[in-house]
Amino acid sequence: MTETGLPAGLWLVGLGPGNLDYMSKYASDIAKSCSRRYLEGYTAILPPKQEERLESVIGKWERMMRPDIENPDELLKMAKEIPVALLIVGDPMQATTHVDLEARCDELGINFNVVPGITATALAVSLSGLQSYRFGRQVTIPFSYGEYLPHSPLEMICKNYENKLHTLVLLDLDPTGMGVVNPTPMKPAEAIALLTKMANKILQETSTFEILKKPVDEWNGILLTDISMEEEKVRAGNLSQLSKLKDGWIHCMIIPSDMNDNELEAFERRKNG
């Protein structure tokens, strides 16, 4: 044991969905007890006001970006000697990068621990009013880099739709794609414009997806903004209407498939959200 009472090792600590009031007491106790604390700043992000609160909740911390997470020699060297907290918004093991950290710790004989956290993705499904068992694979809309724009996210939305499954759509955080600067979350209008571009690319390849017979901006959608925050909003409408919403900081969307009666009623209630 170290002076802090925790054994040396790497502690992946889930901060919850963004509002630190949702962070578990166990998570805050573990973070406080670690000798060093690093906020992972690229797979998910804290709202600025919550980031300002973080030191008062868990103690002094430093930011760690993509290069030092994906090449973690220094991080793991520390974790061999002292307890080190890697603070992650949401649940730590949602990202492939963090699964890789577990494998590296196992290979090097470093103590590895996970403290789960509530995810915004789980809350999004609950807040949508749609039934959780009717969701398919979630997708992320990436920023376009030059002429490069993959259309696989839209293909998955279409496949979910044809299987009568709703799709949770996450919006990219980093326009640079490098993970070295503070992220700039994608806006709804940007995401919907990118979906339209993807649809055009797929249609040029003679798509057989039924949903693409209707223009993307006419699709139904649910926009969830600043989940868990005081400013949280959940609004339903077609994507053209949702693209005009400019308030809020971080967003995700849901593209519903065919909705049953209870879901349709919930959708209608959220039109004035």
Enclosing domain of residue 196: 121-272
Domain boundary among 64, 93, 118: 118
Same domain, 93 and 140: no
Pick the last residue of a domain from 72, 97, 118. 118
- Domain boundary (54, 83, 118) is at 118
Question: For the domain that residue 95 is a member of, what is the CATH number?
Answer: 3.40.1010.10
Instruction: Taking residues 139-143, report their average pLDDT.
Output: 94
What crossing angle do the helices spanning 188-204 and 152-162 adopt, rounded to 10°?
80
Tokens of 160: 């979910």
Q: Evaluate whether residue 150 is within a structural domain.
A: yes
- pLDDT at position 29 over 70: yes
Give the CATH number for residue 160.
3.30.950.10
Same domain, 188 and 83: no
Residue 1 in any domain: the answer is no
The better pLDDT of the pair 76, 176 is held by 76
Residue 95 placed within a domain: yes
Specify the long-range contacts of residues 256-265, CB closer than 8 Å, at least 24 apart. 256/130, 256/166, 256/220, 256/221, 256/222, 257/134, 257/160, 257/161, 257/163, 257/164, 257/165, 257/166, 257/167, 258/164, 259/130, 260/131, 262/131, 263/129, 263/130, 263/131, 263/134
pLDDT tens across 52-98, in order?
Answer: 999 999 999 999 998 999 999 999 999 999 999 999 999 998 888 88
Question: Are 139 and 108 part of one and the same domain?
Answer: no
**Domain identity same for 186 and 248:** yes
Sheet holding 139-141, edge to edge: 139-141, 167-171, 251-255, 220-225, 233-238
* Residue 82, phi then psi, degrees to nearest 5: -140, 160
Q: State how many domains the chain has.
A: 2
- The answer to whether residues 54 and 46 touch, using CB atoms and an 8 Å cutoff, is yes
| 2 part of a folded domain | no
Residue with tokens 């798509």: 207
Q: Are residues 60 and 175 in the same domain?
A: no
Q: Tokens standing for 117? A: 């956290």
* pLDDT score of 78: 97
Confidence of residue 4 (pLDDT cuts 50, 70, 90): low
Residues 132 and 100 occupy one common structural domain: no
Together in a domain, 150 and 87: no
DSSP 268: H
Q: What are 191-224's pLDDT values in tens digits?
A: 999 999 999 989 887 667 989 999 999 999 999 9
Same domain? For 208 and 89 the reply is no
Instruction: Give domain status of residue 46, yes or no.
Output: yes
Q: Per-residue pLDDT for 146 more than 80?
A: no
H or E element at residue 241? helix 239-243
Asked whether residue 3 is domain-assigned, the answer is no
